[in-house]
Amino acid sequence: MAAPKSSHSREAFWLDAWYQGRWWLWLLWPLSLLLRLLAGVRRRRLQKRATPFSAPVIVVGNITLGGTGKTPVIIALVRYLKAQGLRPGVISRGYGGSAPSYPYFVSATSPVSESGDEPLLIAMEADCPVMVGADRNASVQKLINEHQCNVILSDDGMQHYKLSRQWEICLLDGARLLGNGLCLPAGPLREGPERLQEVDCVIVNGSKQGVSVNGVEALPMSLQPTAWCNVQTGEQLPLDALPFAGDTVVNAVTGIGNPDRFYKTLQGLGIAVRGQSFPDHHAFHAEDLAYVGSRPLLMTAKDAVKCQSFAKPDWWYLSVEADLPAQFYDQFSEFLSKSGLVG
């Protein structure tokens, strides 16, 4: 059975236009300018209402649409904070999930249909309390009150200005950066490029060295593959032990914000792939992947948590870790020290 046409086509159309600089987008520039002005008014109004919590809040977000690698960074930061003897918790919007009530506590055994894919992956990989809900303030307070968290990481939420925050990390995709530099709908930006000058740290995912973005010195980051993991059993194999070596071209599927990054990572490992992209946070069902038949299938960890219940023996996901430079951890440690969290 042939692979179906990509369900990612609408998103891909706009992403291609924004990042390739299609001329007709300038027709939308007046609307972009209006939305940018309204966003500024909204920000100033909501920030006046933001009340700090007893625990500092660190936002890991972006100013662009499309995937930038926030989830692996969140997991890396949780592990680092735990190594410092702290009790981190994570809040998230929980896209793709529908919980019975909110704020909703996510554990490693929560149904992905209730938690959403990214919160469940964080709970599984980072082994820390995760709370999801549209009201991020309520999620923070619940983590503090019921789980004694003394530092909170917000997965996205940079534009959720009702949420008080003490440190902001903005991630950018190294290949896309700011695209055409315009705000929605004429471009991919949620806020103007000048917003980068206000955050505490800018990180470019996919860059091997620091770069200047809109006059801001950004730190490099890469996602390093660590192992192949069987979606069905959890078995792990080293990267050089390819369980699908007999296939000259291997099927790969994604439901993430930047599928090309995943495909290029696989190609960098010497694997020829036939990619099939679905929209970000797509709720996979067995029929979506029936075209694969009994052949091997590769996916991301984020997608694997949604496919585990119907996975076949030859379905594997690529485990990756965020490789952040020492300069970042120096800045992060300085913040923790100033916040009184570490000596």
Count other C-beta atoms under 10 Å from residue 114's C-beta.
17
Positive or negative: CA dihedral 203, 206, 209, 212: negative
Q: What is the pLDDT of residue 133?
A: 97
pLDDT of 273-331, one tens digit each?
A: 999 999 999 999 999 999 999 899 999 999 999 999 999 999 999 999 999 999 999 99
Question: How large is the average pLDDT for residues 208-225?
Answer: 94
pTM tops 0.85, yes or no? yes
> CA 213 to CA 190: how far, in whole Å?
16
Query: Are the C-beta atoms of 77 and 155 separated by less than 8 Å?
Result: no
CA distances from residue 115 to 82, 125, 152, 331 in whole angstroms, order as listed: 23, 15, 18, 32
pLDDT of 239-261, one tens digit each?
A: 988 777 677 899 999 999 889 89
The reply to whether CATH 3.30.70.1070 applies to domain 41-221+324-338 is no
pLDDT of 5-42, one tens digit each?
A: 444 567 778 888 898 888 899 999 999 999 999 988 99
Residue spans per domain, the chain: 41-221+324-338, 223-323
| Tally of CA atoms within 13 A in the half-sphere of 170 that contains its CB | 26
Task: Indicate whether 227 pLDDT > 50.
Answer: yes
234: left (phi over 0), alpha (psi -120 to 50) or beta: left
> CA 166 to CA 62: how far, in whole Å?
16
Question: How large is the average pLDDT for residues 138-158?
Answer: 97
